[in-house]
Structure 1
Amino acid sequence: MRTNMSVSNAPKKPTSMHPKKFAMWLFIVSVVMIFAALTSAYIVRQAEGNWTQFALPNILYVSTVVILLSSGTMHWAYLGAKKDDMGQLKKGMIITSVLGFIFLVLQFVGWEHLVEMNVYFVGNPSGSFVYVLTGLHGVHIVSAVIYVFIILGASLRGKIHSGTIVRMEMVANYWHFLDALWIYLFVFMLLNR
């Protein structure tokens, strides 16, 4: 008597990730490690004393709203790519890049407000940490805005659509990661003054 082979005995296809996505996630993990080290150093140095207390500039609250909005527009662009709505994709990417640029300008204005409050990069470590955390995050936002422009250019040439969604997924994931990282940093700085 012959028995039927069940589906569970069939060889399983290994799960895999696109190599470029894998590389991006490794990069994200390295960024997480850098900021985890910096925020840990912040806490350790703060405990040693000689720590100047100051309020974060109010403009950083505005920049937080801007970056949250940019996450929404990036998701809107991603949805446009998924359903082959090139108009939505392009508009979403353009708005996201503009909001990213506005975020950077607001961060710079925040630094100007810190200077007006007599909080400098050189001097008390509390101010130095704020400059380093916001500046390093800003560098990553610059890289993300460049990445958005690259994907926007590809979308203008018709190379981003539902059949070639990997690059769009990557830029969206990187952008959302940087947004979440800013929220973490902002809350961290608010709670650890």
Structure 2
Amino acid sequence: MEKELKYVDMVDQPIAMHPKKFALWLFLVTIVMIFAGLTSAYIVRQSEGNWLEYDLPTIFWYTSGIVILSSIFLQYSYASAKKDNFTGLRAGLGLALLFGIAFLVGQWYSWVALVDANVFFVGNPSGSFLYVFTGLHAVHLISGVIFLIIVLISTFRYKVHSKSLDTLEMAITFWHFLAALWLYLFMFLLLNH
């Protein structure tokens, strides 16, 4: 009596992620590792002494609000895209983009405030770390702004709609990540400054 073996395919579709989304998540993990290393180095170096004490620029509070608002508008654009509301999609994306640029301008003015307070990139490591944190974040945010511009252009070509959300979802994931990263950095600096 021999038993017959049968192959049963129980999965209709394999569990998979869009390759570009997977690459984005790998990129986000890389960014997390970079900032985890930098914040760890900050704590270690601060404990060694010779640390310049200064007030964080007040504009950091405003830029934090700005980046939160940009994420809210971006989420609104996603809800609009799911309903094929192209006006809402474009308006949400456009406002998120404007607030993203406003955030970058705010970061520039934070550097101006630091220079006015005699906190420079060269000199004491406490200032150097702050410039590296904000500068590296700004570089990533510039790439996020470029990504939003690309997606906004795609909306005018009707390439983003309820049946084609991958690019918008990737932009939203990246942007929300950058917003969360900024809030983490700001809270870290408030608590360890």
Shorter-chain TM range is over 0.9
Counterpart residue identity of residue 106, structure 2: L
Displacement after TM superposition at 1:25 (Å): 0.4
Counterpart residue identity of residue 78, structure 1: Y
Displacement after TM superposition at 1:15 (Å): 1.0
Counterpart residue identity of residue 157, structure 2: R
**Is residue 182 from structure 1 mapped to residue 182 from structure 2 by the alignment?**
yes
1:1-193 correspondence runs (5 A): 11-12=10-11, 13-193=13-193
Uncovered stretches (5+) of structure 2, i.e. residues with no partner = 1-7
Displacement after TM superposition at 1:164 (Å): 0.5
Partner of 2:5: none
Counterpart residue identity of residue 115, structure 1: V
Distance 1:96 1:153 in 2: 14
Offset from partner CA, 1:113-170 (integer Å, 9 cap, x none): 0011110000000000000000100011100000000000000000000111111100
Uncovered stretches (5+) of structure 1, i.e. residues with no partner = 1-8
Offset from partner CA, 1:86-115 (integer Å, 9 cap, x none): 000100111011000000000010000001
Displacement after TM superposition at 1:11 (Å): 1.5
Displacement after TM superposition at 1:53 (Å): 1.1
Counterpart residue identity of residue 16, structure 2: S
Q: Secondary structure at the match of 2:51?
A: coil
Offset from partner CA, 1:26-69 (integer Å, 9 cap, x none): 00000111111110110111011111111101011010000010
Displacement after TM superposition at 1:14 (Å): 2.6
RMSD: 0.9
- Count of aligned pairs: 185
Distance 1:39 1:51 in 2: 15
Give identity over the alignment, percent: 51
Q: TM-score, normalised by structure 1?
A: 0.94
Distance 1:97 1:169 in 2: 15
Q: TM-score, normalised by structure 2?
A: 0.94
Displacement after TM superposition at 1:10 (Å): 5.3
Distance 2:31 2:81 in 1: 27
Distance 2:138 2:9 in 1: 50
Q: Which runs of 4+ in 1 moved over 2 A?
A: none
Distance 2:82 2:112 in 1: 41
Q: Secondary structure at the match of 2:100?
A: helix
Q: Secondary structure at the match of 2:53?
A: coil
Distance 2:83 2:117 in 1: 49
Distance 1:51 1:20 in 2: 42
